[in-house]
Chains A and B, each alone.
Chain A
Amino acid sequence: MISIQALKKVFTSSDNTITAVDDLTLDINDGEIFGVIGYSGAGKSTFVRLLNRLEEPSSGRIIIDDEDITGLNTQQLRMARQEIGMIFQHFNLLWSRTVKENIAFPLEIAGISKAKREERVQELIDLVGLSGRENAYPSQLSGGQKQRVGIARALANNPKVLLCDEATSALDPETTNSILDLLVDINKKLGLTIILITHEMHVIRKICNRVAVMENGKIVEQGDVLEVFLRPKQSVTKKFVEQVMGTDEEDEGVSYLVSTYEKGKIVRLHFVGETTNQALISQLAKQFSIELNILQGKITQTQRGPYGTLFVQIDGEKKEMEKAIDYITNETSVEVEVVRNAD
């Protein structure tokens, strides 16, 4: 487990002081993908750089697996850093080295023999899907491939933790998705803890288990990703959720739906992320003699299953409609709200 206690970083220059990370306390569980989201300047990068002491904390403590990182001397810190992988927005590869040599670099630092290095590098190249590009130079790779090299390099010494600072922010959406898939894959395969910094909510949505929202160096909100999506409390958080889910403007469309589809009931189904609900609509259609008509909605996938809202028109015998709604309420975790009752 990673335990961060009252962590603080103050930057002082001649004319002003900036508290980039302000009294931050946080626990991160083993094996989870923990997201930190915030706007530019919120202190995210400073926070993640404090974790391996690329930035020296002004005060506070960082404990990773019972090891007090903040108390280590230079030599001990170097050893500890070999167990903390890090990947960067701009990849930070050595352009003078090939893919293979880049991945071998942390192994050289750890003093691994040449034969063992070669073996490990090949494993890593297979793991991140770069077979065939071993001898290419970074300048010959696409952004996504460069980040794969970055990931392989970060994993070389079998770290317990992987720190990702805006690892997908320089990539196009498609490449972003493939890199995020790779991170989930690694997280599952190797069971390592991933701490991921981003300003993009869809990244959090796609791969994180828990999320913390940062503003002015503080964590203003944290919790399960789904919970935060479902009930954002702070206005920053609401804005981030809107990035993915759109705004509540859709509600204005409801009156339009009500006036346009005159028959039967109109209900709002709220999916809160359980895979078992995926076949809900077809189950309803099979079990009850009702007509279902999907009117509008937005569903998105999170690590725990689908999340979002659907507006559905239900028509049929009044009793059948009631039974169907009771079924949704009692047998599934989908929240149902009747927007308009049948006459």
Chain B
Amino acid sequence: MLTSLLESLDVEELLTATYETFYMTIIALIGTFVFGTLLGLLLYLTDKGGIWQNKVINLIVASFVNVFRAIPFIILILLLFPFTDFLMGTIRGPNGALPALIIGAAPFYGRLVEIALKEVDKGVVEAAQSMGAKTRTIIFRVLLPESMPALMSGLTVTAIALIGYTAMAGAIGAGGLGSYAYYSGFQRRDFELVFICSVVIVIIVFLFQFLGDYISSKLDKR
């Protein structure tokens, strides 16, 4: 069975698809990290008792996060077509998928960031304040470093969700393994190809999980 599997396989196409999946996942992950951290910080800092306590801003950010988390990803892509077209000049290919991927994942990661920040000992923040630290110093030298292991494991969870999103995006033309499995596999009744794509995706997921766990444990000095 294995030989027949490999015979029918166009290795070059598979590699391209794998590359596209990696490309979408990693670029979207970077964007998600930046925007999600921003959202998480905003949620945390404007919350009751926070350094920038502000009901209105907190409500706006929380609503944004909740709304975009509520929309199923496949619908979000469709919804964002005009925006994507305006921003990227295309709605197809890996680049066309990026805005939806980031907008879909950042609110999710933002909540994880908020939870991670809430775990930071209030006493440590207070100690920094008692030394005369600016808010910027507290964010970059206390809150983020102290919550880094949780931020990393949150990022791992998000990365794996993103891999799933890229496959969904693939089904409507974004490229990558999802696209390959759907168009070259499923639609041509080549279920072996669908199987191979699944195996590759599982390997990628495990890879991210392993890497994330490893970095997270290295960072954790508690």
Contact = CB atoms under 8 A, between A and B. Distances in A.
Q: Do A and B come from one complex?
A: yes
Contacts of A108: 137, 141
A108 B131 CA distance: 10
A81 interface: yes
Contacts of B146: 94-96
Interface in B115-148: 121, 123-124, 126-134, 137, 141-142, 145-146, 148
A105 B132 CA distance: 11
A54 B141 contact: no
Contacts of A110: 132
Contact of B222 (A81, A109, A139): A139
A333 interface: no
B124 A93 contact: yes
Nearest to A140: B221
B126 A92 contact: yes
A81 B132 contact: yes
A109 B123 contact: no
B221 to A, nearest CB: 4
A94 B131 contact: no
Given A92-B121, A95-B222, A96-B145, A109 B137 contact: yes
A137 B221 CA distance: 7
Contacts of B145: 94, 96-97
B132 A79 contact: yes
Interface stretch (A82-90, A243-251, A268-276, A310-318): A82-90
A82 B123 CA distance: 17
B221 A106 contact: no
Contact of A109 (B124, B132, B221): B132
A109 B137 CA distance: 8
A52 interface: yes
B141 A139 contact: no
A78 B148 CA distance: 26
Contacts, number: 65
A84 B131 CA distance: 8
B124 A105 contact: no
A90 B129 CA distance: 16
B132 A92 contact: no
A81 B123 contact: no
Interface residues of B, number: 21
A34 B149 CA distance: 41
A92 B133 CA distance: 15
Contact of A105 (B123, B126, B131, B222): B131
B131 A88 contact: no
Contacts of A90: 121, 123
A143 B142 CA distance: 21
A157 B134 CA distance: 16
B132 A139 contact: no
Contacts of B142: 94
Nearest to A78: B132
A52 B130 contact: yes
Given A105-B131, A109-B132, A88 B123 contact: yes
A41 B45 CA distance: 28
B150 to A, nearest CB: 12
A4 B123 CA distance: 25
A81 B131 CA distance: 6
Given A92-B124, A94-B142, A95-B146, A139 B130 contact: no
- Which one of B129, B132, B219 has the highest number of Cβ atoms from chain A below 10 Å of its Cβ? B132
Contact of A54 (B130, B133, B137): B130
B222 A86 contact: no
A312 B145 CA distance: 63
A96 B129 CA distance: 18
Contacts of B148: 96
Contacts of B121: 90, 92
A213 B222 CA distance: 38
Interface of B: 121, 123-124, 126-134, 137, 141-142, 145-146, 148, 219, 221-222
26 contacts: A54-B129, A54-B130, A78-B132, A78-B134, A79-B132, A81-B131, A81-B132, A88-B123, A88-B127, A90-B123, A92-B124, A92-B127, A94-B124, A94-B145, A94-B146, A95-B221, A95-B222, A96-B146, A96-B148, A96-B221, A105-B128, A108-B141, A109-B132, A109-B133, A139-B221, A153-B127
Interface of A: 52, 54, 77-82, 84, 86, 88, 90, 92-97, 105-106, 108-110, 137-139, 153, 157
